[in-house]
Amino acid sequence: MSIAELQIGLEAPPARLALRGVALFLDLDGTLATIVERPQDVRPDPRRTSMIERLLAALDGRLAVVSGRSLEDIDHILEGRVTTVAAIHGLVRRDANGVIGRAPPHPGLVEAIARLQAFAQRDPNLLIEDKALSLALHYRQAPHLARDVQDLAVQIAADTGLSLQPGDMVVELRTPGASKGDSIRAFMTEPPFAGAMPVFLGDDLTDEHGFFAVRALGGYGVLVGGARRTLARYRLPDVEAALAWLEAAR
């Protein structure tokens, strides 16, 4: 993935997504669900669940969720409707047959959690999310600590060998391994996805690996959110627009 390939000024996607021959890959937070101050406050939603059920039927199962959340969180929010999931940015992957593969946890997570917990004592609005294979420190409710959080994460990554995954008001220290793009490429070699054209909707910098993967496979990415440099081909302004576009797909 080359920075030189990033573009801005994206156009709106086609008025209606034609599902025939498409494999659909969807991020969750910021794409299917509005980002909230506390990740645990995202709940199941009847509209989202109904939309996913219809898309799964129309696509003959060619739909996967590719998210930074844990597998358990994804299943809770989507009410268990989606079998094919890549969780924790690809470190956990469940295929269309329900078979789950997990990366082994990195030993540096032990040191990382201790240092993050010590730092989080500075402000009760800092939130640590432990996903077993990664640790996320959310500072959405403590934006004045953004630089300190980022500096700490960089230092922990350097000291432990964990991968640093920056996001929207969050830093994540994760076991090195598969990315969202790697997960999409793996799914595309397996039934029912093989031979289809991949389309990936995502919002964050973590989704650029997915945008790169689908473009290399002859498909395209759709950025959800404000304009920025990206490998996606199209853009939708927000979660509501993304849901409406997916609901109109035929």
* DSSP output for 41-104: G----HHHHHHHHHHHHHTTT-EEEE-SS-HHHHHHHTTT----EEEGGGTEEE-TT--EEEPP
Number of residues that make up the chain: 250
Burial of 4 (C-beta count, 10 Å sphere; 0-12/13-18/19+): exposed
C-alpha distances (whole Å) from 147 to each of 53, 142, 153, 169, 189 are 42, 11, 10, 11, 41
**Is the bond leading into 192 cis (omega within 30 degrees of zero)?**
yes
For residue 6, which of 237, 145, 208, 189 has the smallest C-alpha distance?
Answer: 208
Closest C-alpha to 203, from 178, 244, 235: 235
Six token digits for residue 156: 């922990």
* Contact (Cβ atoms closer than 8 angstroms) between residue 131 and residue 106: no
Check if 182 is active-site: no
Which of 27, 73, 95, 207 does the annotation list as catalytic? 27
Which residues are designated catalytic? 27
